Structure 1
Amino acid sequence: MAMSLEFPKVYEHNIIDINHARLITNKIMNDYEVSDLNITVTGEKLPAHKVILASFSEYFLTMFTCGLRETTEEYADLTQTDADTVKTILKYMYSGILEITEDTAESILKAAYFYQAHDVVYACSSFFVERLSFSNCIGIMITADMYNLTCLENPSLKFVNQHFLNLFNQEEFLSLNIDQLSKILSSDDIAVEVEDQIFTCITTWINFNETERKVHLLKLLKLVKLPLVSKAYLNNQLLEYCQSSRECVTYVKRITESQSRKREILRATPKYPFEKIVIVGDFGHENMHIRQYDPITNSWSKCMELDNRKRGFGMISLNDGGLVVFGGFANDEVDDVLDCIDMKTKAICQCNPLPVKCHGFAVATIGSGHGLEMFVVGGMYKNNFVKVLQKWRNGSNTWFSGPSLKIKRIDHGMAALGKKLYVVGGWTGTHTLQSVEMYDPISEDWTDCCPINEKRRAVGVATVGEYIYAVGGLGEEGQILSTVEKYDPKSDSWSFVKSMPRGRQGVKVVGIFETHMIVLGGYDKSPEVLKYSTETDEWEYLAPIEGAYADIGAVRMI
């Protein structure tokens, strides 16, 4: 008779230490005793492991498997790359931590491209994309072209096209070679008001070095949509400039005489084809509506209606035609719902809800695409201040918590600049704040910055170019402020710029075109919309919002 053995039930207990691998690799990274490779760089020798390098780099995989001398030897000569750059890439290979700064990004990209470390190349490209500005976009575009990086070239070319009118007189733009200029001018997305400006750009570029560049006139002329050029400009400036080239004059006359001047089949040339202002609010209706502002026609249009109504909510743009609307009050209850809205298909889906319900918070984003992160800071729930920072990651639809502000606050403003968050002003429940705190997502620390000149709550805050602006709000004595301040992170200082025509509180502020900001909404339910130019320090009125309401969300959408 067979004996039946019964064992007590054992419950599985899996131990998962997410830091285990990092601890091990950090330990062996600088350990000569267990390394099987010594890397020679300028003035130094670094220990390494062939299997680690080969797993991250096709260059090293080939070196160690294709019969080269390094396959059997314990030395690799990398003296063509500086030691600090090699150390940075090695640290990433072993720990997953890649430290990139504005001073080191280009050298890391160059080395990663050479060693075919694709993850590092992509990370450097993303670093550059997030920092595109007037001062660097041409250089970044040239770098992308040099290394054939479409993930960097497309965004930088788009930025150049979008801000074409602000760039084509700059020396760096005028130093482009013929192929680089042709690539820009051949794009149908180039942002000009009239086609005349394309030819003006061409003549400006040629005149910068006329002796060598005059030969390219015909090639560049073929990139101009001649039927769209104004008749006066065509007969005067354009043909006059081409007089020295019979070939160019013949081409112009042939094209203009043979082609109809039907604009609809040629290049659509809005001044700013990418950036729009999108707002969400009930505007006096039962449900919320989404509206869009077109800077070309200076007009508002209705996009879609939502099936709910909120106030005090947060809103961000995903810059791919998507909006996220969340939090605030719904039916007089604090809401945690996170609605993701596809503006193209009108589809709405709910993402993971806000972990800690709150109102009176501030929201800002860092990054783009799947790497975009939304930060929700401060606020209140059931008379208790929300202390933790809440971070939502777009790519994984997951929430994380971060460190608390140094000073509890609601009704503050917040903006992102240079991959850091800046919280401005606010209210503690007893007094209005003047303090400014900066959050670094890398070190996960809050630090104090230079305080604003005037205490403000219900303040509108936005990034425009390389500065942060604090607009209006309520002062310490409850007075409605018209003053506007500008923060320079390089000097850690605030300065006043031209005030708004009148005081406003609770406004939404959106930075656009790197040179302007739009101010709208507010507690007084004003339909007024203002535009401020950082170049002229002047305000002007735009088309008002029909049926304006205090509680609106406003974002820039590309």
Structure 2
Amino acid sequence: MTPNGYLIFDDETFLDSTVAKMNALRKSGQFCDVRLQVCGHELMAHRAVLACCSPYLFEIFNSDIETHGVSHIAFEDLNPEAVEVLLNYAYTAQLKAERELVKDVYSAAKRFKMERVKQICGDYLLSKVDSQNAISFRNFANSMNDGRLLAKVDAYIQDHLLDISEQEDFLKLPRLKLEVILEDNLTLPSNGKLYSKVLNWVQRSLWENGDQLERLMEEVQTLYYSPDHKLVDGGLVIDGHSEVFGGEDDHLQFVQKKPVRESTQRQLSCSSSGSLSPSNQAANVQKPTTRRDWKYIASEKTTNSNYLCLAVLDGVLSVIFLHGRNSPQTSPMATPCLMKSLSFEAQPEELEEHPLSPMHYARSGLGTAALNGRLIAAGGYNREECLRTVECYNPSEDCWTFMAPMRTPRARFQMAVLMGQLYVIGGSNGHSDELSSGEMYDPHTDEWVQVPELRTNRCNAGVCSLNNKLYVVGGSDPCGQKGLKNCDVFDPVAKTWSNCASLNIRRHQAAVCELDGFMYAIGGAESWNCLNTVERYNPDNNTWTLVAPMNVARRGAAVAKLTNPQNSLFADVCLYAGKLFVVGGFDGSHALRCVEVYDPARNDWRMLGSMISSRSNAGVAMLGETIYVVGGFDGNEFLSTVEVYNPKTDEWNDCTKTPSPLSE
């Protein structure tokens, strides 16, 4: 038909044919102008196609519109297979993923702001919810902050709580065990009102009495339901009663609740006495307190006196077992007051374990160093952005304070101390190519100043001080596809860069450290293949020599050295003097927990106790005789947490012990 003289022809095969051809071009890498680097895998695509499907990528491309050539975007926390599914969808409009991959596709779609895909994946997951997986699905929905998904999973749990309570996931949840004493003429309210009162009691215990949720769960808590319909701490002594709580499987005796302690909430930022710089007086920034979820989900009355509930307590998905029973023969007729323990003051001082204070920001690919007895953590990735912020950890007070921020946001770099000052060199700012810039921090002025730029842009390079000079070792080429052999040295007096001997093997994301006048380049990757090889640099003859390889190939590991301790209390610590510790990293498939130690006298590596958390691209520093590891990426989340290594026990710990407050 040619109405009005126009030729009109609808080619029904054109669109399908063109889409198929474009997808084939993508898979063969032809005409591609964007490279996605996802956990060691490289995926090529066309900028225009991705910009049409992903508002997130559109924003990135639009902010970098002047970029010529191939754009590079890195994702450390997405599944490459899931991203490939989204790319196929972008080119073919067909979403096809195996059941086990749907959660990862959902996560990637959330990152890319592909709401339609997110909804389709969510609906698919909801169709697969059953008694066996309901808890894990709820945990996933909560981690994705998807209110629609959470509401539907919670509705399913309400209808199937007893079946779900028999599953392994349910049995592993934290448990709060309560015994409620009742007057003879009183009965507990209906389930909804009852657990509203329970949640209020837990909140009061945490916020007013200074209790911790974990401590409340350590033993059965005795409560009293007063005639004025309040649920309060029970001060009644239970004599001669040794009942089983909540069913045959718990085998727990009821105990009297300990006297209430004064609130001992610790400050997230502490005073700056003895701090690194004058401005720390003003940088005493407190971490904002956030009220996490308190939510009743579902409950069942299992017998006449036993109740079962699933609830969210201060953000923790928890099981509440509640047993109601009549009071002893004599009971107060009003809300009881707790009796003081007359002998409590005579008790020896107890030590309580508290989690080590986390950084204010989660960070991966950060720079760390020890300076003046403090641990410095700078920059790094925090989800989509690179950071400028710098934090300082005081181990004696277990607190983090802010220092002056860097001039440039950067991640994938290393930091070194040279002549009492901090240096950061190269890295990536998350948007453009690798950086050639460097900065120096002066603790006396609390300022960062520019240092002369590298002659080439460098990311994922090792940085180390040796003989009053700064060395930059290896790194990624401008395209980010392979490691470099190049090594440069900076003279802080002349403020000039020069070449030194090249590595024997190309490496990026290598761990670099000085020990006994030598410099070591440990592991890393040649392209994306992880290395276990190690090289040692001798500044006297300007040569690199291969030494014994590690037991585990790894890139993105952290390294620290333990020097000869002065008057060490532990002989075990002396055994590690003059050795290198290599911590975590990525083996090409998983973030690692394992740790190795290198003995240069024996030229061998041996495995040590593994960390609590898997960590790639974490930071490490030696403070005194203790190794501190901070941040990194565990394969699912960017971390802000801290853990320490005890050479005496060959164990890692994420807690510190402090005297417990005594009730007066």
After TM superposition, the score normalised by the length of structure 1 is: 0.45
More helix by share: 1
Higher relative contact order (CA 8 A, sep 6+): 2
